[in-house]
Amino acid sequence: MTENEKNVVQDGQVVTLAYTLTVDGEIVDSSEGNQPIQFIQGKRHIIIGLENELYGMAVGDKKDVVIKPEDGYGEVDTDNFVDVPRDQFPEQIPLDPGVELELTDQNGELMDARIASVEGDTVRLDFNHPLAGKELHFSVAVVDLRDASDEEMEHGHVHGDGEEEDGEDAEE
C-alpha cells in the first residue's frame, strides 16, 4: 500500500469501533465510558446490517446508520412466545411484565426470556431477542484499523495486546 492510498475498512481488517446504539429514542448500548469494540471485518461478528455500512470508512470517520429489523435482530417471531403455568415459577420471582429471567432448557442450555404478560394463572414468556422487531440507530466512529494477523484470520477473532491467549488457542 502506498502512502497516498487511504486505509479504509475492508475484509480482513481489525476494526476498533466506538458506537452508540439508540432504539426508540433511548440509548440502549454504548462504548462511551467503556472500551470500543474490536472485531475482524467480514467475519460477521457484528450485526450484518452494521458491518455492511462500515466498508470504506477511514480512521476518524463517523457515521449514523439506521438498520431495519431484518438486518438487525430479526422480526418478532410469534413462535417464541411460550405460555407457562404460574405455579411452575419459584415463589420469589416477581411475575410482572418486563421481568427478565434466565431459564435452563432440557439440554441444560441457559436461555434468556422476558415476561410478556401475566393473565390469571398463565405467564407468557417471550424468548425473542429484546431488540427483535426494532429499528436500530447506530452512531459509529472508526477509532483504529489494522490488518488482522494470519493467526487472527485462522482463529476468526482478534487477539489483544499482551492478553492471555484464549482457551481455543491453548488447545492448538
> Which chain residues interact with Zn ion by CB under 5 A?
155, 169
Q: How far is the CB of 73 from Zn ion (least distance, A)?
A: 27
- CA dihedral defined by 156, 160, 164, 167, rounded to 10 degrees? -10
Residue number of the CB closest to Zn ion reads 155
Q: Nearest-CA neighbor of 157 among 30, 34, 41? A: 41
**Sequence-distant (≥ 6) Cβ neighbours of residue 25 within 8 angstroms:** none
Nearer residue to Zn ion within complex by CB, 75 or 151:
151
Classify burial at 159, counting beta carbons within 10 Å of its beta carbon; exposed 0-12, middle 13-18, buried 19 or more.
middle
Q: In this structure, what DSSP letter does residue 151 have?
A: H
Strand 26-30 to 110-119 pairing: unpaired
Q: How far is the CB of 10 from Zn ion (least distance, A)?
A: 21
Q: Which three cell numbers stand for residue 167?
A: 482457551
Nearer residue to Zn ion within complex by CB, 32 or 151:
151
Q: How far is the CB of 166 from Zn ion (least distance, A)?
A: 5
Nearer residue to Zn ion within complex by CB, 77 or 151:
151
Q: How far is the CB of 169 from Zn ion (least distance, A)?
A: 4
Q: How far is the CB of 47 from Zn ion (least distance, A)?
A: 22
The CA distance from 133 to 26, in Å, is: 15
Q: Which three cell numbers stand for residue 98?
A: 418486563
Nearer residue to Zn ion within complex by CB, 140 or 148:
148
Nearer residue to Zn ion within complex by CB, 83 or 169:
169
